[in-house]
Structure 1
């Protein structure tokens, strides 16, 4: 089909990086980027659900095929895709594309730890609460206090999905910190306490997990650098592939 043909025609470059490196935003802004998480309406993690539902598998594949064909029509010579597992929430990345991604050159986005913490705070706390408020207004739902309850339940249930992988004691500690942060946010609007669970969740869980995974594919890494360095590298890489 069209997507398989596109995968055969256009080589892929995969963008990796630690949690909070703003990989999705980078891909979404890049002229050669195909935003898998955007099409799937899911961030591809335990905290990945948005207030709005995911598309059907067919709708996802149609969007993906159209995006790939558009890249091909514009004579772009590679697709930039975020490093993903095969499953994004309830959506499966088509097998041929995912197999091709697992063999593709890997570019790693490096971001300072404190910047990643702020990115998580912006996206998953301030940003997600804003999305819940927007969706409630769209549906004509109740006051902001009741929306905060729905948002809090999403955040806590997302943490609960990690219970087995974190272990009981560590999960309890992080959940208590999250509950305290939500209480403070509800009372004063201050979100700073959320850093108390974001920092250890990155340090003790997400970072070691991703570094282990990255070590398994280190032979595919062709570049590592900051956002501006990766942008510069990809523009020269584009010129090389077009030359």
Structure 2
């Protein structure tokens, strides 16, 4: 493997989705990382804590000596083998630690002694993270942002891939954005979400002042929050609005929250999947009880229970359509109408998914001319 120079070209690393070998301890990685990074630590959390304590009590030389003592023999060889395998699998990659200092230097040196020249990211994770924080603000300022809005069940997420350039905020957040939006997999950390968002916008911003479409969201997507600069920009951004009849929207909600989510629960829990699916939806509904009002909550909850019972008897999904339609018409639609009336940004176009996809493509071609 020929030698490549260490780098501080963070933009190039993210634009090219370069594989990154993260040598930080697992706890550091879990708090925040990058989409293309893999954690192969020099030290475990316990080893790092012991070295840190030694540093405070006895100084740097003693801490380094302890580190070499802890990561020695078979432990050292096993970790070196993992780094070497990563380097061979990703010859275009780079390695880093938190600040681009001692830990990544040690890993780089041990790899070199094994005959593998592998470059480091100068400044490490801290510099990469700082670059993304700064680039996020620049991208938001440099892009024309248009929101995709519409009532619940309009299929906003379905429209995004049909548009010239888009970022799926809910996809990055691993959450569908509504009261019922939790998936089975956990959401990323706030830092991971921000990193992925910054990289997605950075790639769109490379082409100059481009129009990027984002789904219209509130301040939060599940437990994650939108970065303030983006939230402020979205509050006044123009939008395109999906306009589908209630029957169409019921089918979208049915597909997402009954069929798809039900399949996920069955895949994860087997025969217990349907019961856990029902418990999840009833639990989500209960969390909206105060906003729904007691009478409406009881009615929708009863319809939902009856729908799951009918589905279990092999009687189809019509029962689910009943509670979904009532929830959309009596709860989500009035809430959307109220929120839309408070918005400042203009509506550029209104229509069904196919119509808005055509409008956006024509607009994009007109801007290129």
Which residue is 1:170 aligned to?
A: 296
Change (3 A) 1:187 1:37: same
Once the two structures are TM-superposed, the CA of residue 50 in structure 1 deviates from its matched residue by: 0.3
Aligned to 1:101: 234
Alignment equivalent of 2:147, drawn from 1, 7, 14: 14
The TM-score, its normalising length taken from structure 1, stands at: 0.92
Asked whether the equivalents of residues 132 and 147 of structure 1 are also in contact (C-alpha less than 8 Å), the reply is yes
Tell me by how many angstroms 1:30 deviates: 2.7
2:282 is the counterpart of 1:156: yes
Q: How many residues align?
A: 236
Bigger radius of gyration, 1 or 2?
2
Contact 1:18 1:207 in 2 (8 A): yes
Q: Distance in 2 between matches of 1:96 and 1:174?
A: 38
- Deviations along 1:68-115, whole A, 9 cap, x unmatched? 112123457111001100111110111001111111111101112211
**1:236 aligned residue:** 362
Aligned equivalent of 1:72: 205
Q: Which moved more, 1:90-99 or 1:210-219?
A: 210-219
Provide the secondary structure at the position in 2 that maps to 1:79: strand
Q: State how far apart, in whole Å, the 1-side matches of 2:233 and 2:366 are.
A: 20
CA RMSD of aligned residues (A): 1.6
* Offset from partner CA, 1:165-191 (integer Å, 9 cap, x none): 111111001100000111111232622
Cα deviation code 1:34-65 (max 9, x no counterpart): 00000001111110100111000011011111
Which secondary structure state, in structure 1, belongs to the residue aligned with residue 249 of structure 2?
helix
CA distance in 1, matches of 2:214, 2:328: 23
The CA deviation at 1:3 is 0.9
Partner of 1:58: 191
- Whether contact under 8 Å (2:142, 2:209) holds in the other structure is no
Gaps of 5+ in 1: none
Partner of 1:133: 266
Structure 2: any 5+ residue segments left out of the alignment?
A: 1-133
Question: With CA pairs under 8 Å and 6+ residues apart, which has the higher RCO, 1 or 2?
Answer: 1
Give the TM-score taking structure 2 as reference length. 0.61
1:239 CA drift (Å): 3.0
* TM-aligned CA deviation for residue 159 of structure 1: 0.9
Residue in 2 aligned with 1:222?
348
